[in-house]
Amino acid sequence: MGVCKYCGHTAGVFNEFHQECLDNYEACLNEMTELTKTAVLNGGDFQKLNARLIELAREGNVEKKKIKKAALRGWSQAVNQIVEEGVVSRSVERVLTEFKQFFHLSQNQLERVGSNKRLIRACIIREVLEGRLPDRSQSVEEMPFLLLEKERLIWLFTDVKYCEHKFNVDFVSKYKGIEFGDAEYYRPSSFASQLLDENQVVHLNTGLLGITNKSLHFTGPRRSFKINLSQIMSLTAFKEGLGVKRDVTSKPTIFITEDGWFTYNLVSNIRKMHL
Ligand SMILES: [Zn+2]
């Protein structure tokens, strides 16, 4: 006789669980995720949320260790929704950070969900949109570029593919940003369909791409160069990265950072400070 892994009662020959126990388990798990998402979006009471999550886990025979997982999933969904709807405000950032502390989410757990990285990057975008130079950039042990006197590193991308487009094309953007003062914010979904045709570009090198308040610096084993932001004629967003055109006669330079949303929001708005 098999024993149901959810309720512990006999489940019949060859059965490991009752169908209704499985359904109940899944419904409770989903509700835990949903409740968390709603609580985060509404800036809710995490003490109350936690009590309800424990209750639901009991009702659905959900293992204790899965409570945190469901909460993290709900938090992630909330982050993605917030970033899609617009710029992450300071007060929303505070709620999102409080949640991480309340549930004692470790760096390791957070790194496993892409939304934590997305949140950090969204906050940097907000600071740039506000016309300020973010001071939360990663610490760089040794500056790989030669910076000018008032030049400051805002972000350093690693493993960036530096490519050149085979043709002198002008990309046409199909998306529109959300106005934020004089700046503009582009949602992650704007980039989803902006795919780079890798057959149309030549991969020249892979290295570091530094974004400063004055330039884009690239350095790799074979090439090192910089592009002044004031010398850029146009920028194009791709899901995978950024296209930069310096003048009408040159072929676009493409930087594949694997995060076009962040790269484009960052560079286009820092560049606006120079226009
Ligand atoms: Zn059962």
User: What residues are paired with 139 via a beta bridge?
Assistant: none
Please indicate, yes or no, if residue 122 is contained in any of the structural domains.
Answer: no
CA proximity to 57, closest of 18, 22, 24, 28 = 28
Is 253 in the same domain as 168?
Answer: yes
From the CA of 64, how far away is ligand 1's center (Å)? 18
Give the chain's domain count. Answer: 2
From the CA of 163, how far away is ligand 1's center (Å)? 57
User: What residues are paired with 53 via a beta bridge?
Assistant: none
Q: Per-residue confidence at 86, pLDDT binned at 50, 70, 90?
A: very high
User: Running DSSP on this structure, what letter comes out for residue 16?
Assistant: S
Is 93 in the same domain as 175?
Answer: no
For residue 180, the domain's CATH number is 2.30.29.30
From the CA of 61, how far away is ligand 1's center (Å)? 9
Is 96 in the same domain as 180?
Answer: no
Parent domain of 231: 153-272
Please indicate, yes or no, if residue 119 is contained in any of the structural domains.
Answer: no
From the CA of 24, how far away is ligand 1's center (Å)? 9
**Angle at 115 (CA atoms; ends 235, 195), nearest 5 degrees:** 35
Is 157 in the same domain as 84?
Answer: no
Point out the domain boundary residue: 112, 129, 164: 112
Average pLDDT, the chain: 91
In whole angstroms, what is the distance from residue 163 CA to residue 121 CA? 24
Is 169 in the same domain as 266?
Answer: yes
For 245-263, what is the mean pLDDT? 93
Interval 177-219: pLDDT, tens: 888 888 899 999 888 888 888 899 999 999 999 999 999 999 9
Is 90 in the same domain as 185?
Answer: no
Contacts 24+ apart (CB under 8 A), 61-69: 61/6, 61/7, 61/21, 61/24, 61/25, 62/25, 62/28, 62/29, 62/32, 66/29, 67/32, 68/103, 68/105, 68/109
From the CA of 69, how far away is ligand 1's center (Å)? 23
From the CA of 192, how far away is ligand 1's center (Å)? 43
Is 169 in the same domain as 75?
Answer: no
CA proximity to 162, closest of 242, 264, 104, 236 = 242
By the CB criterion, residues less than 5 angstroms from ion ligand 1 are 4, 6-7, 18, 21
Interval 127-171: pLDDT, tens: 999 988 887 656 677 888 999 998 999 999 999 999 999 988 777
The pLDDT of residue 114: 84
From the CA of 51, how far away is ligand 1's center (Å)? 24
Three-state DSSP class for residue 198:
helix
Q: Per-residue confidence at 13, pLDDT binned at 50, 70, 90?
A: confident
Q: Per-residue confidence at 37, pLDDT binned at 50, 70, 90?
A: very high
In whole angstroms, what is the distance from residue 9 CA to residue 233 CA? 70
Is 89 in the same domain as 199?
Answer: no
From the CA of 160, how far away is ligand 1's center (Å)? 51
Please indicate, yes or no, if residue 127 is contained in any of the structural domains.
Answer: no
From the CA of 13, how far away is ligand 1's center (Å)? 13
Three-state DSSP class for residue 255:
strand
The pLDDT of residue 275: 60
For 86-95, what is the mean pLDDT? 95
Q: Per-residue confidence at 119, pLDDT binned at 50, 70, 90?
A: very high
Please indicate, yes or no, if residue 146 is contained in any of the structural domains.
Answer: no
Is 267 in the same domain as 162?
Answer: yes
From the CA of 15, how far away is ligand 1's center (Å)? 10
Point out the domain boundary residue: 112, 142, 171: 112
Amino acid (1-letter code) at residue 214: K
From the CA of 174, how far away is ligand 1's center (Å)? 52
SS3 per residue for 158-177? EEEEEEEECCCCCCCCCCCC
Is 158 in the same domain as 248?
Answer: yes
Is 85 in the same domain as 172?
Answer: no
The pLDDT of residue 9: 93
For 102-117, what is the mean pLDDT? 89
From the CA of 32, how far away is ligand 1's center (Å)? 20
